Chains A and B, each alone.
Chain A
Amino acid sequence: MLAKRIIPCLDVRDGRVVKGVNFVNIRDAGDPVELAKYYSDQGADEIVFLDITATSDARDTVADVVERTAAQVFVPLTVGGGIRTLEDFRRLLRAGERFGSQCVVLAIDARKRPEGWYEVVTAGGRTPTGIDAIQWAKRGQELGAGEILLTSMDADGTRAGFDLEMTRAVTEAVSIPVIASGGCGSLEHFAEVFEATNCDAALAASLFHFGELTVPQVKDYLRSRNIPVR
């Protein structure tokens, strides 16, 4: 039976993990390679690197980070973020060839509009696009995306739980796997998103970085709720 995936996310800027990281047993918590290895050893099912580098000059550093990680971490690695131009995308695909990209994951950041629909936003939520997230997800599937990483800008950083309504709406609209992201603050939130929606994976960042929860704790809890995990 296919396991639900638990995915720690590392925000990388200029080759270092940003967003507070608060470990005791890691020599250099800001090193993405070391963190990725730590999570993988704990049983993380995949590692996501989000490139939040401001300038495109430094864009190759995330490729370098992933390349170094891939030499010692043997779970799937996903890279995203900072793709603004076709050239950015080409460069990432070329880098992907170097360490073996398996499929293109479409990342959608969206927030709920007062009228009740979900709007795709860019630039960390600052720029509305007028695009309906559900339609965009369907379009992405048609264009060959293998998976969708869905982040709720409303839930992100709140620790109040995943946006169940939006996650459900998108998973019901497409037939490719969906990774839920944004808002996770407790064990219960992980169980909730898998029980209330048909998503395939749940992503969290600071919850893991601050050492509040570990990947094994999350998996033990999900197992106790009869949710299949590795």
Chain B
Amino acid sequence: MKRTIAIVDYGVGNLKSVANALGYLGLDSAVTDDPVELERADAVILPGVGAFPDAADKLRRKGMDRALTAQAGRKPILGICLGMQLLFDRGEEIRDCEGLGLVSGRVERIQTDLKLPHIGWNSLSFPNPSPLFRGLDEGTYVYFVHSYRGVAARKEDVLAVTDYGTPVVAAVGRNGVYGCQFHPEKSGEAGLQILRNFGELRK
């Protein structure tokens, strides 16, 4: 059987750059808005650019929320940027809104004296070890573009943190469900290594 990473298409951008990076690494992917394809794939990436409530609505309209919940724990899932934020229980961007609830916690606007959006390359530290960051050193730079941050309810779910005048959760993980606030597909060699690691999580 062909091994395929499903990239969830729910109308909110950056699909092509994720597919480009996977293709460069020799990993097959398929952009899809069909819940059945999520079942067939052996890993799932949930990208996302935009606002939380709009994205959550679009996921629900396509039935992708139930499909993702059904696949969680059965195959590796990676949320990127807004895709990571959607993994949490709730978001408060624009209005209070329900997320997928795959990682306990909520999403809030970053409280910082620095500029927002948080745009650019920032360095990671790893409070908990994870196979997602195998081969990466403490202090590795990755690329961020966001104004909201995830706040995890459980400390052990926080896999990477960055400092933006305040600690910002850079990655979470729980039971095979992972999320990166930064963009691995735009983070040069370090980002490619993370996507390669994700590909290797497949059974």
Contact = CB atoms under 8 A, between A and B. Distances in A.
Interface of A: 1-3, 5, 40, 45, 70-72, 74-76, 97-103, 146-147, 175-177, 200-201, 230
B133 interface: no
Given A76-B186, A146-B117, A201-B120, 16 more contacts: A1-B123, A1-B163, A2-B122, A2-B164, A3-B123, A5-B121, A70-B16, A74-B21, A74-B187, A74-B191, A75-B186, A75-B188, A100-B15, A100-B185, A103-B119, A176-B117
Looking at chain B's contact residues, the main secondary structure is: mixed
B114 A2 contact: yes
Nearest to A171: B115
A99 B117 contact: no
Interface string B23-36: 11000000000000
Given A146-B145, A200-B115, A230 B121 contact: yes
Contacts of A40: 188
Contacts of B145: 76, 102-103, 146
Contact of A71 (B13, B23, B120, B186): B23
A45 B13 contact: no
B74 interface: no
Nearest to A69: B20
B16 A100 contact: yes
Contacts of A2: 114, 118, 120-122, 164
A102 B14 contact: yes
Contacts of B115: 175-177, 200
Given A71-B20, A76-B186, A230 B141 contact: yes
B192 interface: yes
A170 B99 CA distance: 37
B128 interface: no
B122 A74 contact: no
Contact of B24 (A74, A76, A98): A74
A113 B183 CA distance: 41
15 contacts: A5-B121, A45-B121, A71-B24, A76-B143, A98-B16, A99-B16, A100-B18, A101-B13, A102-B183, A102-B186, A147-B117, A147-B119, A175-B115, A176-B117, A200-B119
A84 B152 CA distance: 45
Contact of B120 (A74, A97, A200): A200
Interface of B: 13-18, 20-21, 23-24, 47, 49, 114-123, 141, 143, 145, 163-164, 183, 185-188, 191-192
A230 B191 CA distance: 14
Contacts of B164: 2
Contacts of B191: 74
Given A3-B121, A74-B187, A176 B116 contact: yes
A176 B116 CA distance: 6
A227 B193 CA distance: 27
Contact of B117 (A1, A76, A98, A177): A177
Nearest to B15: A100
Contacts of B49: 100-102
Contacts of A5: 120-121
B135 to A, nearest CB: 16
B13 A100 contact: yes
Given A1-B123, A103-B145, A74 B192 contact: yes
Contacts of A76: 143, 145, 183, 186
A124 B49 CA distance: 32
